[in-house]
């Protein structure tokens, strides 16, 4: 069992929250400096951070985080255990040893039980953790090895999509290893754009070759947040599910 739960280390928690709630997520945890939001498929955590530490990391909740981290890391990556003994769940962070400045590739923590509020999340919204890497096949192979289900890959090898029991993962070609938070939407994406606008969130509608996407300005000034319409055109792609 894997639940996608990427973390946004952000200096603008309130703006992130406005976007997530407008997208249709619901808050399921609210602690000092830490908030967790649930969609119909996947979660997102916000960690209040100084500007110098703004980033996004790809994390998962699972029943055996240590085994998942060690299996994902082998070979050539390293596992660092954090938060042991401080009252919080231990975290197993996987680092890339090959990078000049090692980056967290992904991380695993024990599956948490949270009480859902009466308000239900938008049933069409799916959280998608995006991992950019110079070696798509390597990272994709690691996710497949720990049990994520392959869904689609590009014929040119630049994209590999996976599904877990709770959330999506996309592996995309990039200059270096980095994580981004993204979404897929299975409903009317133009209606979602209108709902975002009503909440004061501007979103550009872009007609991509494979599907429409919404682009939302990043609260911390990073790359735009993508909400991708469910893919229906598979020219140049191979379905694997």
- Domains along the chain with CATH numbers: 1-111+122-241 (3.10.180.10)
92: pLDDT strictly greater than 60: yes
Give the predicted TM-score (pTM) of the model.
0.94
- Which alpha helices (DSSP H) does the chain contain, by range? 13-23, 65-73, 136-146, 189-198
In this predicted structure, what is the pLDDT of residue 199?
Answer: 97
How would you class 200 by CB atoms within 10 Å of its CB: exposed for 0-12, middle for 13-18, buried for 19 or more? exposed
For 184-208, write each residue's pLDDT tens digit.
999 999 999 999 999 999 999 998 7
226: pLDDT strictly greater than 60: yes
Q: Minimal CA–CA distance to 230: which of 168, 180, 156?
A: 168
In this predicted structure, what is the pLDDT of residue 48?
Answer: 97
In this predicted structure, what is the pLDDT of residue 23?
Answer: 98
Helix, strand, or coil (residue 193): helix
For 36-86, write each residue's pLDDT tens digit.
999 999 999 999 999 999 999 999 999 999 999 999 999 999 999 987 656
Confidence bin at 100 (pLDDT 50/70/90): low
Cα-based distances in Å from 171 to 19, 138, 143, 154: 24, 10, 9, 11
Cα-based distances in Å from 131 to 57, 58, 106, 181, 198: 9, 7, 9, 9, 31
Q: Minimal CA–CA distance to 18: which of 201, 225, 224?
A: 201
Confidence bin at 7 (pLDDT 50/70/90): very high
């Amino acid at each position: 069992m894997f639940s996608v739960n990427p973390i946004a280390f952000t200096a603008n928690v309130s703006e992130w929250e406005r976007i997530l709630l407008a997208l249709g997520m619901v808050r399921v945890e609210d602690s000092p400096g830490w908030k967790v939001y649930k969609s119909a498929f996947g979660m997102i955590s916000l960690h209040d951070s100084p500007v110098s530490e703004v980033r996004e990391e790809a994390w998962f909740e699972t029943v055996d985080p240590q085994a998942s981290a060690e299996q994902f890391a082998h070979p050539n990556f390293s596992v660092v255990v954090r938060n042991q003994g401080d009252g919080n769940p231990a975290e197993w962070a996987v680092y890339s040893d090959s990078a000049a400045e090692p980056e967290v590739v992904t991380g695993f923590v024990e599956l948490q039980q949270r009480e859902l509020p009466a308000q239900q999340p938008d049933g069409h919204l799916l959280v998608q953790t995006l991992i950019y890497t110079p070696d798509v096949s390597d990272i994709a192979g690691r996710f497949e090895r720990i049990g994520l289900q392959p869904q689609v890959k590009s014929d040119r090898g630049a994209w590999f999509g996976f599904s877990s029991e709770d959330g999506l993962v996309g592996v995309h070609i990039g200059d270096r290893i980095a994580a981004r938070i993204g979404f897929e939407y299975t409903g009317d994406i133009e209606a979602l754009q209108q709902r975002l606008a009503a909440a004061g969130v501007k979103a550009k509608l872009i007609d991509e070759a494979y599907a429409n996407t919404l682009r939302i300005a990043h609260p911390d000034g990073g790359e735009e947040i993508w909400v991708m319409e469910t893919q229906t055109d598979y020219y140049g792609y191979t379905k694997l599910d």
